[in-house]
Amino acid sequence: MEITTILLGFIIVLNIVFAVIVIFRERRDATASWAWLLVLFFIPVLGFVLYMLLGQNLSRYHMFQWEDRKKLGIEKIIATQLESIRNNTFEFRDEVAKNNKQLISMHILNNDAILTDDNMIEIFTDGHQKFNQLLKDIQAAEHHIHLQYYILKKDQLGIRLIEELEKKAKQGVRVKVLYDDLGSRGLRPSFFKRLRQADGEVEVFFPSRLRWINLRMNYRNHRKLVIIDGKVGYVGGFNVGDEYLGLDPKFGYWRDTHLRIHGRAVHAIQTRFILDWNQATEKQKIAFSSHFFPEPEENSKGSSSVQIVTSGPDSEWEQIKNGYIKMVSTAKKSIRIQTPYFIPDASLLDALKIACLSGVDVELMIPNKPDHPFVYWATMSYVGELLNSGARVYIYDNGFIHAKTIVVDEELASVGTANIDMRSFKLNFEVNAFVYDAEIALELVEAFQHDQSVSRELTLEAYVNRKKIIRFKESVSRLLSPIL
């Protein structure tokens, strides 16, 4: 009994010490701190191990540095754009960008997200179409291919993609592949053996020093970027794997949204890749070359205004989330959202509820099945609040919807990798394209309306009458939502 009492007392004291560390060392927001304290209370000692794996704060670290950015003149462009916007002398290419100059200024100031207005955009909502075009672009590459994915699988699609990259590397094209260690945890270095033998380069983001344990499990690079010859850029929700072609029976058809971009926005995508690559590598860092930032060709120029906005746990600001809030707060007629997870923080949830109560038509589309159960049930708990405020919610029944899109007033849109959840806002490294173009926004609205035809509406009455077991799952999952 004495040994048990001593051991119990030791565990209690140790847990108090851990709790103090959680509260004072990281200085995180109150909701996340309380969630971690609950974990420590219910799972003594082991809870702190989970905290060390999942809960550390990276905001004080400066992870991404590239001195050659000065050669791009980014600082000068930022200063010029900010000054001219504030002085009302900036020449906006269209009314949509002009009407959203506050949002544009915020992204320039807090994220160095230069506004480019000569972009041609193609939207993909189907995996077959997206990857067929990507493979064609890879086959046409002449100088370099930079490819970055959160998930890269060794299956039919993954093997086909790496084989095409191997062919281009043998032709003298400079090929670089960056993938996330946790997202692509099934990969082994042998998968890239032939690509490396062909002088292709491969790096891993935040690799684990131990085979089965990664002490930075929470801080993953969730970005999906491809840049070809500095002329074509891809950004969006599709990863690389057969399931994204709808070949996984668990999920069925995979509905996502991805953008293919020509224009100066590709330079911003390129810069993001270089920053991520240089962080991941020690010996093969990329130095500035004009080949990476060619002038757009006249026949590939468009008229879409775009900002490439990034966010991550190394930053003090939650740039993409703040962009979402600003978009929602400026809505006058409609807001359409597609997301696989809906776990907003209080600020975004309040903004959406205020929009509903102000007469703005708010429509949300989510999947009909979970790929992460706790996240799914937490999503349903927040959905109830939107329904109660007057929003309309649709459950996508044609497979799995993974798109991360917001369209406001059928003229302003955001497409990228960031989900509407606290993981994307605070923990993952993400990238979104904010597009100021009514034609592109209308294409996304039409895609949303098409998806409505294969969805069912979740009414407030049906939600209120849900089973008690579902209410219980929602309550538990919502309690843990700050750390999901």
Kindly report, residue by residue over 443-457, the tens digit of the pLDDT: 999 999 999 999 999
- Determine the Cα angle at 476 with ends 474 and 482, to 5°: 95
Catalytic pick among 130, 144, 176, 222: 222
In the annotation, is 224 catalytic?
Answer: yes
On whether both 204 and 328 belong to a single domain, the answer is: no
On whether both 39 and 124 belong to a single domain, the answer is: no
Residue 130 tokens, joined: 């997206």
Asked if 134 contacts 157 with a C-beta cutoff of 8 angstroms, the reply is no
Catalytic pick among 404, 437, 451, 473: 404
On whether both 83 and 17 belong to a single domain, the answer is: no
For the stretch 404-445, pLDDT in tens is 999 999 999 999 999 999 889 988 999 999 999 999 999 999
Taking residues 83-101, what's their average pLDDT?
94
Taking residues 300-328, what's their average pLDDT?
94
Name residues whose C-beta falls within 8 Å of residue 269's C-beta, 6 or more positions apart in sequence: 225, 227, 233, 234, 235, 261, 308, 431
Residue 310 lies in a domain: no
Side chain identity at residue 179, one-letter code: Y
Residue 245 tokens, joined: 């072609």
On whether both 338 and 269 belong to a single domain, the answer is: no
On whether both 347 and 457 belong to a single domain, the answer is: yes
On whether both 334 and 185 belong to a single domain, the answer is: no
Shortest CA distance to 292 belongs to which of 265, 267, 264, 262? Answer: 267
Residue 19 lies in a domain: yes
Domain range for 452 is 319-483
Residue 409 lies in a domain: yes
Name residues whose C-beta falls within 8 Å of residue 101's C-beta, 6 or more positions apart in sequence: 85, 90, 92
For residue 458, report the phi and psi dihedrals to the nearest 5 degrees.
-90, 115
On whether both 279 and 348 belong to a single domain, the answer is: no
Catalytic pick among 107, 258, 262, 402: 402
Domain count, the chain: 3
pLDDT at 337: 98
The last residue of a domain, from among 305, 335, 366: 305
Catalytic pick among 112, 126, 180, 229: 229
Query: Which of 181-190, 252-261, 407-416 has the weakest average pLDDT?
Result: 181-190
Residue 338 lies in a domain: yes
How far apart (Å, rounded) are the C-alpha atoms in residues 220 and 228?
24
Name residues whose C-beta falls within 8 Å of residue 386's C-beta, 6 or more positions apart in sequence: 349, 352, 353, 356, 362, 364, 393
In the annotation, is 107 catalytic?
Answer: no
* CA-to-CA dists, residue 239 to 43, 147, 422, angstroms: 35, 11, 20
Catalytic pick among 181, 409, 421, 437: 409
What pTM was computed for the model?
0.88
In the annotation, is 404 catalytic?
Answer: yes
How far apart (Å, rounded) are the C-alpha atoms in residues 79 and 225?
27
Residue 313 lies in a domain: no
Residue 278 tokens, joined: 């240089």
Res. 94: pLDDT tops 80: yes
189-224 burial, b if ≥16 CB within 10 A, otherwise e? eebbeebeebebbbbbbbeeeeeeebebbbbbbbbb
In the annotation, is 402 catalytic?
Answer: yes
Kindly report the CATH number assigned to the domain that includes residue 449.
3.30.870.10
Catalytic pick among 107, 224, 353, 426: 224
- Determine the Cα angle at 178 with ends 172 and 184, to 5°: 130
On whether both 282 and 363 belong to a single domain, the answer is: no
On whether both 326 and 441 belong to a single domain, the answer is: yes
